[in-house]
Structure 1
Amino acid sequence: WTTEEITELKEFDAKMSEYQKYLTNSIQQQVQTLFGGGADFWSLLGETNPTTTTASPLLTSSIAPIDAPPAPNFCTAIY
């Protein structure tokens, strides 16, 4: 591995970590929007509101989209 390749891999890793955080937050926000909190979910089942706690939303606004970083392209000779 060259120094340039190692640097490129480190940059890719950092960008991919940010992309994974974005995906996780986006999915959590979509699930919370879908179910709308504990009380709404139980009312769909026709049950009276059981004792529930509603988690505060992680994100109060929409998440700015992040594109997946391009994968490094290294050619490695195999002998």
Structure 2
Amino acid sequence: MWTKYSTLRATLKLHENADISQYGRLIAFLKNGSKNHKPKKAKVLEREHIQQFLVEAPNTKFSMMKVALLFGV
């Protein structure tokens, strides 16, 4: 919900010159709604996984991805 609030706030500020950050009840509602939110931890690729991909993945299908991995593009 915070992402949508941020997008809406920026859009209204730009197009309507309206500042919704002054609405305390809205902020309180969003804070109350996010009490039970459990953030998900992103998985991280280990060096072994990257090396395995570079060795085992077929070049015909993944050559561009391999180049991007090697040169940090």
Structure that is richer in helix per residue: 2
| Interval of TM-score (by shorter of Structure 1 and Structure 2) | under 0.3
**TM-score normalized by the length of structure 1:** 0.22
